[in-house]
């Protein structure tokens, strides 16, 4: 076969291959499927104790885009990371978070309830989480029951400002809550930080409700049980993004992928990210 014929054959093959590549370019491969933000709920809570350094470190190792944390306040006014308003479920202690000092809270074992190998994990301080993870992973901050802690919005805002995390050019920060008034206040305090509203109530998915949320929130974050294509479309039509929770099965993750949400909040980051 002549050199010219070989070259011509190669060109023809290249053109044919290019045509096939273009034809299939719009079909996502397994590796390209990750089109949504992978948010590790309370850290990689399916595998490690929630809201602990062990859980957050694992989430980073699993390539999560964000860690989701719950923020409350101790008796002596320090911001701490824990979900329940009492310590009973996730530590070896008892009592309300707001009735215990930071020292008392951090003396509790927050890991053994999950598995004995996590014994000694503690309740982190909010600022500890900011210092350890900003620049490594996005942080989705949930203000948990802010009505119990007057002024918590200002405290969170101050902690972010001290680290220049209130500016859009810095690492990813989002603040969310079920308390809509708290999010309105947060939006005023931190106008450049995205705000999200949490809900599991279908009445909050109406066009009127979504329009109201869009006046101060950039994210609408519903439980996946109330997510539909229509809801996603309406959220996007209002200029907001949608992140849904809490995924604890591959089926739930696949459903949310099909709904074209912008973020999936999950106890199992590997259900969302095919690289794991």
* pLDDT value at 86 more than 60: yes
Instruction: Identify whether the C-beta of residue 160 lies closer than 8 Å to the C-beta of residue 205.
Output: no
Active site residue 41: yes
2, part of any domain? no
Q: What percent of the chain has pLDDT over 90?
A: 84
98, part of any domain? yes
Q: Report how many domains make up the chain.
A: 1
Which domain range does residue 257 map to? 36-271
Range name among 13-22, 62-71, 122-131, 226-235 with the lowest pLDDT average: 13-22
* pLDDT value at 7 more than 80: no
30, part of any domain? no
Confidence of residue 170 (pLDDT cuts 50, 70, 90): low
* pLDDT value at 118 more than 70: yes
Indicate the burial class of 11 (C-beta count within 10 angstroms; 0-12, 13-18, 19 or more): exposed
The CATH code of the domain that includes 146 is 3.20.20.190
52, part of any domain? yes
Q: For the chain, what is the largest distance between any 2 Cα atoms, rounded to a whole number of angstroms?
A: 87
- What pTM was computed for the model? 0.88
12, part of any domain? no
Active site residue 83: yes
Cα–Cα distance, 220 to 65 (Å, whole number): 18
10, part of any domain? no
What is the residue-averaged pLDDT of the chain? 90
Q: Give mean pLDDT, residues 23-44.
A: 68
């Amino acid at each position: 076969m002549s050199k010219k014929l070989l070259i011509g054959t190669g060109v023809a093959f290249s053109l044919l291959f290019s045509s096939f590549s273009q034809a299939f370019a719009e079909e996502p491969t397994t590796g390209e499927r990750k089109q949504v933000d992978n948010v590790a709920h309370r850290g990689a809570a399916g595998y490690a104790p929630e809201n602990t350094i062990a859980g957050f470190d694992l989430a980073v190792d699993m390539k999560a885009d964000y860690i989701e944390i719950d923020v409350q306040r101790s008796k002596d006014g320090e911001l701490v990371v824990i979900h329940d308003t009492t310590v009973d479920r996730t530590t070896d202690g008892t009592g309300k978070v707001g009735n215990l000092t930071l020292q008392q809270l951090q003396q509790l074992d927050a890991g053994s309830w999950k598995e004995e190998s996590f014994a000694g994990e503690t309740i982190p301080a909010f600022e500890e989480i900011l210092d350890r993870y900003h620049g490594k992973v996005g942080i989705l901050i949930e203000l948990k029951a802010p009505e119990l802690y007057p002024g918590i919005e200002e405290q969170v805002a101050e902690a972010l400002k001290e680290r220049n995390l209130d500016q859009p050019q810095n690492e990813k920060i989002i603040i969310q809550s079920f308390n809509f008034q708290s999010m309105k206040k947060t939006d005023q305090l931190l106008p450049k930080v995205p705000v999200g509203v949490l809900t599991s109530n279908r009445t909050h998915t109406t066009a009127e409700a979504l329009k109201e949320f869009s006046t101060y929130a950039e994210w609408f974050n519903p439980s996946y049980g109330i997510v539909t294509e229509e809801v996603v479309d309406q959220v996007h039509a209002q200029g907001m993004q949608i992140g849904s929770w809490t995924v604890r099965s591959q089926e739930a993750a696949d459903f949310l992928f099909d709904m074209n949400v912008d973020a999936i909040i999950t106890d199992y980051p590997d259900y969302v990210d095919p690289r794991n």
